[in-house]
Structures are given as structure tokens and as C-alpha cells.
Structure 1
Amino acid sequence: MSKGLVLISGVNGYIAAQTAKYFLDQGYSVRGTVRKVTSAKALLEDGLKEYAESGKFTVVEVPDITVEGAFDEAVKGVTAISHMASPVSFFFTDPEPILHAAVTGTITILNSALKAGPQLKTVVLTSSIASIKDTQLPPYTLTEQNWNTIAESEVQRLGKETPGPIIYSASKAAAEKAFWKWRDEHKPAFTMTAINPVFVIGPPLTAPKSEKDIGETYHSIWTVFAGRPHPPPMAGLPATVDVRDVAALHEYPVSHPRETDGERYIASDGVGHPQAIADILRKAFPEAQGRIVEGTPGEGYDGEYKGDAGEVVLIDNSKAGKLLGGWVGYEKSVIDTARMFERLL
């Protein structure tokens, strides 16, 4: 017997696909939404093929998540919702459609959730550290109490001149604020929880067929593994978390709804650095040592991947860590991700 039916919006996304697998492995059934069923081909025929054939994993089309009522059919009979469909890129050039999709898509699925029936117990939002990182001067430690207070006003000030990362940050902050405002206004019977990951790394559910299929947040692992010059270290907030930890954090509120109602959880583990990636991969793949650029071993990071002496913005991940009981770990994330790239080399 299934533990329940979970709706995952944007199920063909990098994080969403691994989240679907986690729910399925835990005994749930999953209904995923996509713009076009063809975009879920890799899941249906490869990554989640066994579950698709058994009927535990199904896919439905929601062509436009911003249309009121777009999720009305998709939510029927579901016991939980993970809303993960939202634009993701650090190279956006026009903020208006991005913020519209992020905010309106969140509101439409919540409005549909009100029509789902009493069996719906939980709605989980995939937010981001981008909605938490604020503008205070370092050094400081980020917690779930922090909010990004500048990105949206920067979008208003700069318009189409807004840098892509700020557009993305504004979209995540605005969408999560809309999520909580909706909760205050509607006081639904179901519980509501937000998950706020940092840069997500770790293996995609299905191996990329070409470099263009490699996600932005873990592309640096490919760059190093492919033997190219090390990319520059991540600017600003180099924290990372494994995609499988993010998936597990989406399930926890579904199995513990009252404990997590109204809460935010920062998903963060290791601090990434290109030199650390090179050191890890040269050790794990000795046959690739002639390809992977050596760099300066040990430089720029500490041995526990928790930062370096120059770190001025820290992240308190203890709240989510207590739920999981531990993290996958930076080394395993890097190695498992690289294994997904072997067929491309």
C-alpha cells in the first residue's frame, strides 16, 4: 500500500526528479507535473521507469503554471504537494516574466490546493538560500530568521539592467513571501513548510547526454573532471548541499506535518571550492590524474569542507541537520556527481 500520493510540480527538474525518486523509494506514489509530457521522457523511460511501469509514478501536463486553476486537476486525490516548478538560472536578463512565473505559480498551486479535499495534509515549497541571504555587513551567520530585503528593490531600481543572480534571488524571495502571506490570509487546514537550499550539487537522476544538460550549480565538478582549467571559486556564498539531502528534507514535512508546520529549513552542508574538487577527484579517480589539473593541493579550503580562514558569512544548518540526522557529505557529492559524467569523456 502506498503511503500517499504526492504531487511534485516541475518533476523533470534536477532537484525535483531526485525528490520524486526519494518519495517513491519511501513508499509513496508520485504524480509529477510538466509543461509537456515529452519533457519527462527520461524519467518515464529511464530514471523512474520501474515506478512508471508499476503505475506508482505518473505524469500530467500543466502547460502554464501561472494560469488560475492550472493545477485543479493535478491536485485531485493528492495527500501532499511539493511545489518545485520555478525558473532557475543565474543568467536571466528580464526580471518581469521570471518574478511573474515564480510568484503567480506559487499562488495558483496554493489556490488549487484548497480544492484538493481533506486528504491533503501538507504543502512544501522549494525556496532558496537566495530568499534568506540579507544585506548586513559580514561577519555574520545566516539562520532561518533572515530574509533577503534588497533583491526585489534592486529589480525595481534596475529593471532589465538587473544582474541575473539578483533576478533569481528576487524571484525566490518574492515567491516565498507570497507563500507565507497566502498562509496567513487563508489559514488552510493543511500544513505549510519551506525548504531553503544553498547551491545544490550531487548526481542528477539520469546521466546527462551532453555538456549542455549539466546543471549550473554542479557544472564546476564537470569542468574540473573534464580536465579543464579550474573555474574561479564561487563568489559570495560558496556553500553546497547534496541533492539527495534536499530530497529527504522535502519528505520530512510530509511524514511529520505538525512538527514542521510554518517552518523554514536551510539545506546546507559543505563549502565548495574548485581546488577541493580537484583534490577529491584526483584521489578517487587515479586513472584520471593525468587529465585533471592538479592546481595547488589543499589550498583555499579546510579539510572538513566547512570554509576557510577568510570565511565571513556562515550558515547555521543545525535546524535541518536535526531532521536528517546527518548529511551526505561534500566528498561523496563530488565523487557521485563525477561518476555521472564518465560517459561524456
Structure 2
Amino acid sequence: MSKGTVLISGLNGFIAAVTAKYLLENGYSVRGTVRKSSSAAPLVEGPLKSYAQTGALSVVEVPDITVAGAFDEAVKGVNAIAHLASPVSFNFDDPDPIIKAAVDGTKTLLNSAVKAGPQVKTFVYLSSIVAIMTADPAPYTFTEKDWNNWAEPTVAEMGKGTPGPVIYSASKAAAEKAFWKFRDDIKPSFTQTALNPVFVIGPALIAPKTAAEVGETVRAIWNIFSGGEFPPPGLTAGLGNTVDVRDVAAQIEYSISHPEETNGERYISSAAVATAQSTADILRKAFPDAKGRIVEGTPGQGYSPDYKLLDKENVQDADGSKAKKLLKGGEYIPHEKSVIDTAKSFAHLV
């Protein structure tokens, strides 16, 4: 017997695909939305084929998530919704369509959820740490009480000249604010929960076929593994606070299966702090044949043995302790395993 049907928006995304597999393995049925059915073919004909054959996995086309009523058919009969579809890039150059897609896509799905009726018990929204990151100077530790209130005004002032990371930050902050405003204004019968992960690493459900297909949040690991120079620190480097995609999937499932406990809550998913040096050290040890390719740097320098924040005076941190309680055993996947498993997923490309 299925535990119920979960609608996952953006099924072919990195986090969404892993989440779908986790839910299916744990007794749920999954209905995934994609812009075009063909984009889900690698999943349906690949790692999720057995679930598609039994009917536990189905795919629905939603060409434009911003159109009113776009999800009306997709939500019929589902018991929970995981809204994971959202534009993700640090190279955006025009804020308007990105913010519109993030905000209107969220509102559209929420409205469809209300129309679907009382069988929809919970709605989990995948936000981001950038919706939390304030402009407070270091040292500062972000918690679920914090809100990004600088990105949207920056976009309003700069327009098309806004840097890509700021556009992305504004889109996530605006969308999550719309998510909670809906709860306050409409007071739907279903519960609402937001997850705010930091950089999500770990193995993709489908390994990339080319270097260009390597996901943006794991690209820093790819660059180091493939022999690139160490990137400078910063948001766009893809280093800093990290969490494994498999943990994010587990936290989404926990939020679905414990709706009353997680109702109205935000959860920062953050397991460890990665640096270029720690990543190189992990990879050089795990892949001895790659030692001649991976930059050595200064082994052991600049990071703690448990991969936590070392420079607490000059860096902002994120507190992932609240979200850790949603995991089986109450612990995140070890950082070394996350880095190694990520590299294994694209080792065939080197």
C-alpha cells in the first residue's frame, strides 16, 4: 500500500530526482511535473524505470508554471506537494523573468493545492539559504529567524545590471515571502514547511554525460577533481556551507510524513563547511590515481578536522542543527562521503 501520492514539481532537477527516488523507495507514489515529457525520459527509462512500470511514478507536463491554473490537473488526487522547481543559476542577467518564475510559480501551485481539496495534507517548499542570508557583517551565524532583506531592494535599484547571484537571491527571498504570505492570508487546510539548504552536493541520480552537464552546486568539486586551480572563496565558488542532496531528500520526506510537527517551520539544511583545500585533500586521498591531476595546495591548512567553520571571526556561518533533527539517527551524511560520492558520479568524464 502506498503512503500516498506526492506531487514533485520540476522532477528532472538535481534535488527533485533524488527526492523522487527517496520517496518511491519509502513507499510513496510520485507524480512529477516537467515542462516537456521528454526531459523526464532519462529518469523514466533509467533509474526510476521499475517505478514507472508499476505506476508508482507518473509524469505530467506543465509547460509554464507561472500561468494561473497550470497545476490544476496535476494536483488532483495528491496527498502532499513538494515544490522543487525554481530557476537556479548565478549567471542570470535579467531579474524580471527569474523573479516572476519563482514567485508566480509558487503562488500558482499553492492556489491549485487549495482547489484540489482536503486530501492535500501538506505543502513543502524548497527555498534556499540565500532567502535567509542577511547583510550582517561577519562574524555572524544565520538561523531560521533571519531574512534576506537586501537582495530585492538591490534588484529594484540596479535592474538589468544586477549581478547574477543577487538576482537569484532576490528570487528565492521573494518566493519564500510569497509562500508564507499565502499561509497568513488564505489559511489553507494543508500545512506548510520551508527547507533552506546551503550548497547542495552529492551524486546526481543520473550521471552527467559531459563536463557541461555537471550541476552548478557541485561544479566546484568537479573543477578541483578535474585539475583546476583553487577558486577564490565566495558565494559563486560553490564552496562554504554544504549539505548532501540525499539528506535534503530525507528532510523533505520527514516534513511530508510529520506535517503537524513541521507546520509553519523553516529549516536550514547545513552539514559542513567545504574549502578548496579540504576538498582537494579528500579527493587526493580517495582517488590516488588522480594525485597527479588534483592541485595539492597546502594539505590540512585552513579547515577543521570535522569540516566546521574554522575562521569564525571573518566568515558568516549557517546553523543546520534544527534541520538535523529531521534525519534518521539525527546526523548528516559525513562530509567526506558527500564529496567522494559526488566525484564518483562524474569520474568517468576525466
* TM score, norm. by length of structure 1: 0.98
SS of 1:118's partner is coil
User: Is 1:308 matched up with 2:313?
Assistant: no
SS of 2:116's partner is coil
SS of 1:182's partner is helix
> In structure 1, what is the equivalent of residue 348 of structure 2?
343
SS of 2:343's partner is helix
1:132-171 pair list within 5 angstroms: 132-171=132-171
> In structure 1, what is the equivalent of residue 259 of structure 2?
257
Query: What's the Cα RMSD here?
Result: 1.2
Structure 2: distance between partners of 1:138 and 1:287: 39
Instruction: Give the counterpart letter for 1:344 in structure 2.
Output: L
Structure 1: distance between partners of 2:189 and 2:181: 15
SS of 1:233's partner is coil
The alpha carbon displacement at 1:47 in A equals: 2.3
Gap runs ≥5 in structure 2? none
Instruction: Give the counterpart letter for 1:240 in structure 2.
Output: T
User: Is 1:320 matched up with 2:323?
Assistant: yes
User: Is 1:276 matched up with 2:278?
Assistant: yes
Structure 2: distance between partners of 1:277 and 1:57: 36
SS of 1:47's partner is coil
Structure 2: distance between partners of 1:255 and 1:341: 33
Structure 2: distance between partners of 1:80 and 1:58: 15
SS of 1:141's partner is strand
> In structure 2, what is the equivalent of residue 245 of structure 1?
247
Structure 2: distance between partners of 1:98 and 1:47: 30
> In structure 2, what is the equivalent of residue 28 of structure 1?
28
The alpha carbon displacement at 1:309 in A equals: 2.6
The alpha carbon displacement at 1:269 in A equals: 0.8
Query: Cα deviation per residue 1:65-95 (whole Å; 9 max; x = unaligned)?
Result: 0000000000000000000111110110000
Structure 2: distance between partners of 1:15 and 1:235: 19
Q: Is the 8 A contact 1:81 1:124 kept in 2?
A: yes
Query: Cα deviation per residue 1:254-308 (whole Å; 9 max; x = unaligned)?
Result: 1100001000000001101111111001111112212222111112211111122
Structure 1: distance between partners of 2:273 and 2:112: 38
SS of 2:93's partner is coil
Query: Cα deviation per residue 1:161-208 (whole Å; 9 max; x = unaligned)?
Result: 100000000000000000000111110111000000001111111100
Structure 1: distance between partners of 2:285 and 2:272: 18
1:196-215 pair list within 5 angstroms: 196-215=196-215
Gap runs ≥5 in structure 1? none
1:32-111 pair list within 5 angstroms: 32-111=32-111
> In structure 2, what is the equivalent of residue 174 of structure 1?
174
Q: Is the 8 A contact 2:137 2:316 kept in 1?
A: no
Q: Is the 8 A contact 1:234 1:272 kept in 2?
A: no
The aligned length equals: 345
Structure 2: distance between partners of 1:287 and 1:140: 40
> In structure 1, what is the equivalent of residue 12 of structure 2?
12
Instruction: Give the counterpart letter for 2:288 in structure 1.
Output: P
Q: Is the 8 A contact 1:6 1:82 kept in 2?
A: yes
User: Is 1:225 matched up with 2:225?
Assistant: yes
Query: Cα deviation per residue 1:132-177 (whole Å; 9 max; x = unaligned)?
Result: 0001222221110000011000000000010000000000000000
> In structure 1, what is the equivalent of residue 338 of structure 2?
333
* TM score, norm. by length of structure 2: 0.96
Structure 1: distance between partners of 2:189 and 2:183: 10
SS of 2:6's partner is strand
The alpha carbon displacement at 1:13 in A equals: 0.4
Instruction: Give the counterpart letter for 1:298 in structure 2.
Output: G
Structure 1: distance between partners of 2:230 and 2:91: 21
Q: Is the 8 A contact 1:234 1:273 kept in 2?
A: no
SS of 2:70's partner is coil
- 1:154–1:73 Cα change, 3 Å: same
Query: Cα deviation per residue 1:201-252 (whole Å; 9 max; x = unaligned)?
Result: 1111110000111111110111111122222233498111111111111111
Structure 1: distance between partners of 2:273 and 2:316: 11
